[in-house]
Amino acid sequence: MAQRSEGMSRRDLSEALKESTKEVHVQAENTAFMKNFQRSQISLREFKLYLASLYYIYSALEDESERNKDNPVYAPVYFPNELNRKAALEKDLEYFYGPTWKEEIQCHEATQKYVDRIYHVGQYEPELLVAHAYTRYLGDLSGGQILKKIAQKSLQLPSTGEGLSFFNFPGVTNISKFKQLYRARMNSLPMDPATEERILEEAKKSFLLNIEVFEELERLASQGRISENGHIVKPKTELHTRGINSTHSPKQDDRVQMTHKDMLPSTSFIRWTLVLFFLATTILVGFYAM
């Protein structure tokens, strides 16, 4: 197979990827989950669910990166020291869920679908693995850096970086230069036009799988906010939150707000009793005053 760097008239893979995922990128940014995140309206519960999903996704991605590290269709973009996220996610999950974090988290349907696709690609179509690595890692090094600042501020996480390891890349000293290097390595991958086309399709698929995860996270988070009878409930996962002290407490679900109505007794019988009691007291006080 021809090396792409051997002077070809075709556009570089990195440019083609950016171009062909433009539309799905906008779609991903516009999911309710990402929009709320950008508006600093992410709750602690949502953030924890997000990290848990990412843990499964990166475990799969990094298993398959490892499997293909010597495969010429992937080796040039194998950067474990600079990019690997699994260990960072484990640290964050321990911070938020405590030492039993592995038993607390769950791989939900959309995340499982994404994970299955990564495992399939890594084992049976390794030439497409770069599409998944590109979507996640270059995304984390781009928009991910914006999300980090938002999360830190809106969840009031410590400035020492606890709970935000996922967004930190200690192995990358200059993000912009590293992204350039990564693009150059993608451009050096050996491939024919048909394979390039499949990679572009896989990258779009990868974005769509992310979108499905975000939609699922939004659904899961709202299930925790309102119970079947319409009452507001405290989600189980929040009860396990660590890192809470008087100075640095991750903000609790700020979209759960009790109204005065919610605090009134729920049955009309009790409400009427209170009204009658109030009226009787007023009349008695009136008589006494005369």
Interacting residues toward ligand HEM by CB under 6 A: 17-18, 25, 28-29, 34, 37-38, 134-135, 138-139, 142-143, 146, 207, 210
Amino acid identity, position 45: R
**Minimum distance from residue 154 beta carbon to ligand HEM (Å):** 13
> Cα separation of 162 and 265, whole Å?
41
Closer of 25 and 148 to ligand HEM (Cβ)? 25
**Minimum distance from residue 281 beta carbon to ligand HEM (Å):** 56
**Minimum distance from residue 144 beta carbon to ligand HEM (Å):** 7
Closer of 37 and 56 to ligand HEM (Cβ)? 37
Closer of 17 and 157 to ligand HEM (Cβ)? 17
Residue, CB closest to ligand HEM: 143
- Token representation of residue 122: 């890594």
Closer of 153 and 271 to ligand HEM (Cβ)? 153
**Minimum distance from residue 70 beta carbon to ligand HEM (Å):** 25
Classify each residue of 45-68 as buried b or exposed e, where b means 16 or more C-beta atoms within 10 Å of its C-beta: bbbbbbbbbbbbbbbbbbbbbeeb
**Minimum distance from residue 103 beta carbon to ligand HEM (Å):** 27
Helix axis angle, 44-67 to 86-97, nearest 10°:
150
The residues, ordered by sequence, that sit 6+ positions from 79 with a Cβ below 8 Å of its Cβ are: 182
Which candidate, 166, 162, 179, places its Cα nearest to that of 84?
A: 166
Closer of 64 and 94 to ligand HEM (Cβ)? 64
Amino acid identity, position 225: R
- Token representation of residue 98: 């405590």
What is the maximal distance between C-alpha atoms in the chain?
A: 105
